[in-house]
Each structure stands twice: as structure tokens, then as C-alpha cells.
Amino acid sequence: MSKKYDELLHTLCIYDSVEKVPYEGCIFLKDGKIANVEKGSIKDEYLEKADTVTECGDKTVCAGFGDTHTFFTGYVIEHLGVDFSDCHSIEQLEKKVTAQKDIVHVMFGNHLEKKFVKNEAAEKMLERVMPDKAVVLFTEGHATCLMNEKAKAEFGFDEDHCYSEAIYKIMPLYLNDRSFIEKELISYMKLLNSRGITSVKEMGFDDFYGFTDVLEEMELNHELTLRIAFMSQPVGAEPNIKYAKDMEQKFKGDYVRFSGFNQMTDGLILKKEGHLLEPYEGTTITCKKEIDYEKLEKQVLEADENGIRYTLHSEGDGAFHEILNIYEKCRKKNGKLENRHGITDLELTEPEDEKRMAALGAFGEIYAQVYALDTYEGYVNAYEQVIGERQKRYLNYRSLIKNGVRLCGATDLPLLIPSIPESIYYGCANYGSDHNKRINPENGLSVQEMIDAWTINSQYAMERERELGSIETGKKADLVIFDRNIFKTPMEEMLLVQVEKTMVNGKIVYTKEEEL
């Protein structure tokens, strides 16, 4: 005879994303949901009510984490086609390419050494061996590639333009290769589950090129362990309102939802393509990139009128300002945006505009792990050269929070792989990759604020905060257990923290024991 609850979790450290302080308590699970939460120590009477009792000691239990900005389409490039990591000479490269010439229509490769890119001998070899078949061989991280003329003509990008928005024409090829893409999605979900990620807001280009059929089938077959709210990022065509409305109606399940449009605005500040309010240091330039805000406004307002949400990218404070000007023209209810529009990246923001953002109720997606990409000196020197004293306002999460902006955890995966301990280390303590000095430490968040960003706030961005994102009675049992109390862990030990267990709908989708 089954008992009242399926499982009871007891820990000295529940962080429920409601009370904002950790506490000792018991979490009761039933039929994939949180059936009850009781503060205090475990009682003898509780033991008789649950089929399974899990004693967590001092380990932190949180709601499942949500990454609000991911690119599965970019993640798979690292595994697309043939692995060329063992090719160190033109002869070895030619031998491996030649072996594929009769068995492929289009040849993709990964992990090519960068020395072969813009290498005349390598380029001539490709033209000689495969003149009539498109060949694209990506380096690690796929920031660049070696490709033949056939591929350049067919796909419309080159070795200097390998970013996701440029390579969209190859996506239909690999997103519809079932033998490849389903295994990749399973691997992707396992990776994210191992980091405590139970939900993502996934950037899909245009109509996702048929990949929604894969998602639909895997959800019907109960194969998903990750909740996926996908967006349409227009790159090959204009925003398609009909497609968006169709996707909203089609995907209403527990795992797959449609989440609106995502679109780039400005570019990298270090390339002077970020749009600034005031000119870059020593120049009269506010942005090298041309941005058609009038066209963007028209697209956003059309989507807003149809109840479709938008997330726009902002690096510079000028782009931030212009995006808010657009959002202020959107429909409102009680002064807040009627549709939940957001802004991603938020590298440089100005306090008065932060207040405008908070007043509108727009959410912000932040890449808190970004300081892991360079040293203290690397970051500070690079940004001081282009924006001077404004460097002190770079990634000012504290100001955004102070002015009332709701911040959500994100990574721009595969730029970064989500890790909440890393987010705390780099986004709260603000260390660079050298771990020596803190970069503008006054700009960082508290541990509690960072956990909120990855839990309840991320679910707000995905419009699922009523059923996910906090440990409360009646919500779905998406839970994460760390291997220690993260609130008592010294910052110098934070990067050692690991996820011990991840649950989705009360079922274990990852345990640290799997990796032992």
C-alpha cells in the first residue's frame, strides 16, 4: 500500500526562492509535485508518511535552474561531421578529407587546428580533392573554419563570419539528420541536467528548420528531461507572426513551449559595434554598426499587438536606451508591459534607463560567468581603452538590482556552459579567470540574488513562475541538490561545488554517482 508521499527530502539548507534566506526543513513529493514543505527538523511521524526518505544533511536544495539564453544549434557544431583534432599536417588533413569524398554530399568537420584556416595549401587541397561538394571544417569553438568555394557560394558565409546568425543555411541539414540530432539533444540535456538546469529558453532561427518536429516527437515519447521554451530569431526572413501564433497554439505541453522572438541589435563594445550614448574614447564614434531602430520598432510593435513577446540584445548603453524607447510604445497594463519583453546581455547600462526598465517590468538576461573568459588585467585594460571611466559601470548587476530590474540567469551557450557555482564566483565575487583580483566588486550580486536569478526570475522570463522556480506547495518538483551548503562555502572554494542530484517532475534525471 503506497504511502501519502512518494519521497521526503530533509536538509539543513533549503533555499526556496521565496523567503530569501536558507532554512532547515522537509520537502514532501507526490506525483511529480511538491506536496508540502515543513520548516524545522524531521519528525518521527514524517517517516511513516513517505515511501522514500532522503536525508541531505547540510546540502543545499534549490528549485531547478533555468538558462534563459541558449543555442543548441551552436552546441552541436562541436560534434558535427568528422573530428579533425588528430590532423596536424596538410598530408594528414588531405588523407582524412579524401576518405570522405565518395560517402558524403556535404562534408562537415570539427576541431580543426586554427593553423589550417586561411592557409593557402589547405585551401588548394580542398579545391583539388572536393571541388564539387561543399566542405566546411570548423575549428574548436567554431569561431572560424576552413571551407571551399562551393561551400561559400552555397551557404553564404566565410571564415570571417562563422557566428550562429551567419551559418543558418547549414542548420536545416543537421537539424533534420535524425540519426545525429536526436543523440545530440540527449547529450545536451544530460549536460545541462548535470549542471542543475531543468529549463532553457532556446534560440531557434526563423522557423527552426523542422527541429520542432523532433521536439514534438520526443515530448510525446517522454524522452525529454529538459523543459524547452524556444524562440524564433529572424535571420533568413522577417519575423513571421503567423508562425509564432501557430507555435503558441501547437506547443502547450509540460516540456515544450514557444516563447516569442529574439533579435540582435548592436554588437561587441570591444569592436566599437556596441551602441553607446557617448562616443568611444578618443573618437567621435558611438557605434560602427548601422542599426535600423525604426524597422526594429515596427517589428516589435507588430509582435506586441499580436501578443507575441520579444527579447532584444543590448551591449552598449545607447542600444539599451533605444530598446527601452521601443518598449515604452508597447501595450501596457497598470503601467507595466502587457507582454513580457526582455533585454539580454546588459553589458553597459545607465541608471536612469535601469529605472525605466524596472518601471516597464521588462526582465534582463545576464551572462554572470563572463569574467571566466579573461583575466583581471585583460578585462579592465581592454574596456578602459575603449570606454574609459565607463568601464566601472561594465556589468553593473548591483545597480540594475538596486533600481528594481528583474535579472535572469543565462549563458549564451555554447559561449559559456551553465554553472551556478561559477555564476556565484564570477558574478558575485567578480573574479577574473586568473582568480587574483576582483573586477569592480561593488557591481556584483549576493549569493541569494544569484540563485533567484537562476530560479524564480528565469521562470518568470519563460512565463512559468506559477508552476516552477521556487520550492512551494503545489509547484512541480524540479529540484537541485548541491553537494554542500553553498551559503557557507568560502568563495575560494566555490568552484569546487558540484550538483549532486537533479530532479524533473520528481524524477531523478542526474546524480553525481553517474560520473564516478
pLDDT in tens, 348-393: 999 999 999 999 999 999 999 999 999 999 999 999 999 999 999 9
CATH 2.30.40.10 fits 5-64+471-515, yes or no: yes
Interatomic CA distance for residues 206 and 203, integer angstroms = 10
Angle at 184 between CA 460 and CA 94, to 5 degrees: 135
Give per-residue pLDDT as tens, 430-466: 999 999 999 999 999 999 999 999 999 999 999 999 9
Query: In 335-472, where do the E strands start and end?
Result: 336-337, 342-345, 363-366, 406-409
Q: What is the band of 23 on the pLDDT scale with cuts at 50, 70, 90? A: very high
Q: Which of 466, 460, 344, 417 is nearest to 193 (CA)?
A: 417
Segments making up each domain of the chain, as ranges: 5-64+471-515, 72-163, 264-445
Task: Say which amino acid occupies 179.
Answer: S
Question: What would the mean pLDDT of 118-137 be, rounded to a whole number?
Answer: 95
Q: Is the pLDDT of residue 486 over 70?
A: yes
Stretch 137-151: mean pLDDT: 95
What is the mean predicted confidence (pLDDT) over 232-246? 97
| Cβ pair 165, 156 in contact under 8 A | no
pLDDT at 328: 98
pLDDT per residue as tens digits for the range 195-230: 999 999 999 999 999 999 999 999 999 999 999 999
The answer on pLDDT for 1 being more than 80 is: no
- Residue 44 DSSP SS3: helix
User: What's the confidence (pLDDT) of residue 164?
Assistant: 84
Confidence of residue 258 (pLDDT cuts 50, 70, 90): very high
The grid cell for 360 is 516597464
Q: Domain 72-163 has what CATH class? A: alpha beta
* Dist. CA 235–CA 238, nearest whole Å: 7
**pTM of this structure:** 0.96
Question: Does residue 516 have a pLDDT over 70?
Answer: no
Which residues lie across from 125 on neighbouring strands?
Answer: none
Is omega for the bond preceding 414 within 30 degrees of 0, making it cis? yes
C-beta atoms surrounding 104 within 10 Å? 15
Q: For residue 482, how far is the Cα from the chain centroid?
A: 21
Q: Is the pLDDT of residue 77 over 60?
A: yes
At 279, list the grid cell. 562616443
Parallel/antiparallel/unpaired status of strands 310-314 and 256-263? parallel
Residue 477 near residue 433 (C-beta atoms within 8 A): no
Q: Identify each DSSP E strand in 245-341 by its residue range.
A: 256-263, 310-314, 332-333, 336-337
Helix (H, G, I), strand (E, B) or coil at 509: strand
Q: How far apart, in Å, are the Cα atoms of 18 and each of 185, 221, 427, 451, 470?
A: 32, 34, 21, 11, 7
pLDDT for the residue numbered 291:
97
User: What secondary structure letter does DSSP report for 438?
Assistant: B
Residue 454: which of 505, 502, 515, 510 has the closest Cα? 502
CATH top class, domain 264-445: alpha beta
pLDDT tops 80 at residue 515: no
Using CA atoms, how far apart are residues 148 and 430, in angstroms rounded to an integer?
A: 43
Mean pLDDT of all residues belonging to the chain: 96
Percent share of the chain, pLDDT over 90:
96
pLDDT of residue 248: 97
Q: Look at residue 103 in the predicted model and tell me its pLDDT.
A: 78
Report the number of secondary-structure helices (H) and strands (E) in the chain.
Answer: 17, 22
Please count the residues of the chain: 516
Q: Are 276 and 314 in contact (CB under 8 A)?
A: no
Give the relative orientation of helices 178-194 and 211-220 as an angle to the nearest 10 degrees: 60
pLDDT computed for residue 473 by the predictor: 98
